[in-house]
Amino acid sequence: MKTPVCPRVMLVEALRDGRLGPQESASMERHVPTCAACSAAARELDVIGDAVRAPQPPATPLEHQRARLALLRRATEPAPARAPSWTPRAVLVAAAMALAAVLGWTGARMMGPATAPIALHMRPPPRLAPARETTLRPSDDARFERTRTAGLEVVTLSNGTLDLTVRPLGPGERFVVRTVDAEV
């Protein structure tokens, strides 16, 4: 047999948080000592509150660095690949797109060769030349150091922000940006 759960057990947390009005608070304060389920819930909330308020020892610099590195590793991990889920809606959308493509192709074949007098006035967008040199645009408060040695260019940023445009690198060349807590 299952022990009945008090329907007022959810109000124990509201009583503790001060979310009840004066009449409900007084009623719950009288009820909690007499109800086993509500008393147990109040004790559990006390244990949780004590655990949350307990002071934690400060992390050592090594623990802090390990936690940072773990966070950076998790941030750079690729998202896990999920198997495609072919729901009926997705199948219906795919079929509709295939039908639209077939109808568009047959309609174009029936109309004959297309002329494009409208497109004659349009020009392709200008192509930007690739950067020949790496450019750095620092913020006003930026502090950084730039070094180059045998195919390795390193920018060490100690403060502020940088806007970088890196030229295409050749074989064996590397460009590295270092900050206090990361290296890219």
Domain that holds residue 168: 135-178
Residue 109 domain flag: no
Residue 93 domain flag: no
Burial of residue 9, with CB atoms counted within 10 A of its CB: 0-12 exposed, 13-18 middle, 19 or more buried = middle
The pLDDT score that the predictor gives to residue 101 is 81
Residue 103 domain flag: no
Total number of domains constituting the chain:
2
Residue 157 domain flag: yes
Q: Which residues of the chain have pLDDT under 70?
A: 1-4, 83-86, 105, 107-131
Residue 139 domain flag: yes
CA distance 14 to 29: 12
- What are the residue ranges of helices labelled H in the chain? 11-17, 22-31, 36-53, 61-76, 88-111
Residue 92 domain flag: no
Q: Contact, 131 vs 96, CB < 8 A?
A: no
Question: How many separate helices (H) and strands (E) can be counted in the chain?
Answer: 5, 5
pTM of the entire predicted model: 0.33
Residue 141 domain flag: yes
CA distance 41 to 21: 20
